[in-house]
């Protein structure tokens, strides 16, 4: 596979040097060299003549003539984009017959890597971002239009909507300010109005998903809190004649107490977070930061409460059952304690992957608030570099 990729890259560079399709595309009116992307296929047993007039019109509309550079941008193939731009830098400004440039295509297909590469070319980015296609679409309208949206890797509708809202804000930063009020020719809407209309179904799914998830997780959190609260009053081994726990001076009893308190605190806090979600307004702006952050914190605290509950269970077993400290018995107890936690973590790994960006942003905000400026990692790194210099 490595050899194939190496040869493919060499072939890409060779073809980029001899490619003239962008010249023919602008000089040709017959479309003989047009490369069609996303054309609808015929149904089984159906011929071209049997298609209705409406289907043929839709097919002609979907046949967008792209140069190899635009096709590579739509597929997110960074190597081809880099090779073509390196050989023919002027090719980055060429457009399709619908007057879509590489920035339009990358944004429409949600190709972040292509978008970031173009964004680094600051002067070129301004020119590309100010271009409007035949439909009157700015680059912000292409974010709003879900025609080429494939839902991405996000595991739930709420995180899919969050990714779309963040994508909208990211693109809005590079567009001229007055373009925000621009109306397209097809729908006569601004980009924000078009975004709300096209994403209305996704908003409904996100609202339903986050409500059901919060309700289910809050029920589990209440159950965990009930169990650990009862365990605090029925300590392992019982009490002696003076009312003190029998295993009061055992290190395992201290460990049990700490884990039980942490489990109760984290489970009740997660309940509060989930109730806060259920009482929040489910509007677009809430799905950008607030609701996903609350869900992340609530789910993390719930996972932590389950972990500490199983640890307190392991400490209880070690206190009650008196045995010689053989390796196999300890292994069995630890396995029994951590098996539910591991299964829970594996099943929810895709959800935690979606949480990662939210957790990073939240961690940075907490560190910025708590730590003074002189203790930030960037300041410390700069100080070390200066001293070494």
CA distance 91 to 89: 5
What was the pLDDT predicted at 383?
A: 64
What was the pLDDT predicted at 381?
A: 61
What was the pLDDT predicted at 373?
A: 53
The answer regarding whether domain 2-32+62-198 maps to CATH 1.25.40.20 reads: yes
Contact 333, 274 (CB under 8 A): no
Residue 1, SS3 per DSSP: coil
Q: What is the dihedral of CA 277, 279, 280, 283, to 10 degrees?
A: 110
What was the pLDDT predicted at 238?
A: 64
What was the pLDDT predicted at 37?
A: 39
Mean pLDDT by 10 residues, the chain (389 residues): 88 83 52 36 44 45 65 90 86 85 92 91 87 91 90 82 93 90 90 93 94 92 89 71 68 83 92 93 91 89 87 77 55 60 59 57 62 56 61
300 membership: H or E segment, kind and range: helix 290-320
Q: Is the pTM of this model over 0.85?
A: no
CA distance 73 to 80: 8
For the chain, the structural domain boundaries read 2-32+62-198, 209-347
Burial degree of 343 (CB within 10 A; 0-12, 13-18, 19+): exposed
Scan for tokens 């289907």, then name that residue. 55
Q: Are strands 35-37 and 64-66 parallel, antiparallel or unpaired?
A: antiparallel
């Amino acid at each position: 596979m490595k050899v194939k990729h190496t040869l493919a890259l060499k072939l890409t560079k060779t073809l980029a040097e001899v490619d003239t399709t962008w010249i023919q595309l602008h000089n040709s009116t017959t479309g003989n060299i047009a490369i069609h992307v996303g054309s609808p296929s015929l149904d089984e047993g159906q011929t071209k003549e049997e298609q209705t007039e409406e289907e043929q019109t839709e097919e002609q509309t979907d046949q967008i003539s792209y140069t190899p550079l635009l096709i590579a941008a739509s597929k997110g193939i960074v190597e081809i984009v880099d090779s073509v731009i390196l050989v023919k830098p002027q090719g980055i400004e060429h457009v399709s017959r619908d007057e879509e440039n590489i920035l339009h295509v990358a944004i429409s297909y949600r190709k972040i890597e292509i978008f970031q590469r173009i964004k680094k070319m600051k002067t070129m980015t301004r020119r590309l971002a100010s271009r409007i296609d035949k439909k009157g679409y700015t680059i912000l309208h292409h974010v709003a239009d879900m025609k080429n949206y494939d839902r991405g890797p996000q595991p739930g509708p709420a995180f899919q909507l969050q990714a779309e809202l963040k994508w909208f804000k990211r693109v809005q930063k590079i567009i001229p300010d007055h373009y925000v009020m621009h109306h397209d020719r097809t729908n006569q809407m601004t980009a924000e109005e078009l975004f709300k209309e096209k994403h209305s179904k996704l908003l409904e799914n996100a609202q339903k998903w986050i409500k059901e998830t919060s309700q289910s997780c809050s029920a589990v959190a209440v159950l965990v809190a009930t169990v650990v609260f009862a365990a605090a009053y029925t300590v392992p081994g019982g009490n002696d004649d003076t009312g003190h726990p029998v295993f009061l001076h055992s290190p395992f009893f201290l460990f049990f107490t700490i884990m039980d308190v942490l489990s109760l605190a984290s489970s009740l806090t997660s309940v509060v977070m989930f109730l806060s979600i259920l009482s929040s307004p489910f509007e677009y702006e809430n799905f950008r930061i607030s609701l996903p952050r609350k869900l992340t914190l609530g789910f993390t605290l719930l996972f932590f409460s389950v972990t500490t509950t199983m640890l307190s269970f392991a400490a209880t077993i070690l206190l009650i059952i008196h045995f010689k400290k053989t390796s196999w018995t300890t292994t069995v107890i630890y396995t029994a304690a951590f098996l539910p936690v591991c299964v829970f973590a594996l099943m929810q790994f895709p959800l935690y992957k979606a949480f990662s960006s939210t957790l990073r942003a939240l961690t940075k905000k907490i560190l910025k608030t708590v730590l003074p400026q002189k203790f930030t990692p960037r300041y410390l790194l700069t100080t070390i570099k200066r001293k070494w210099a």
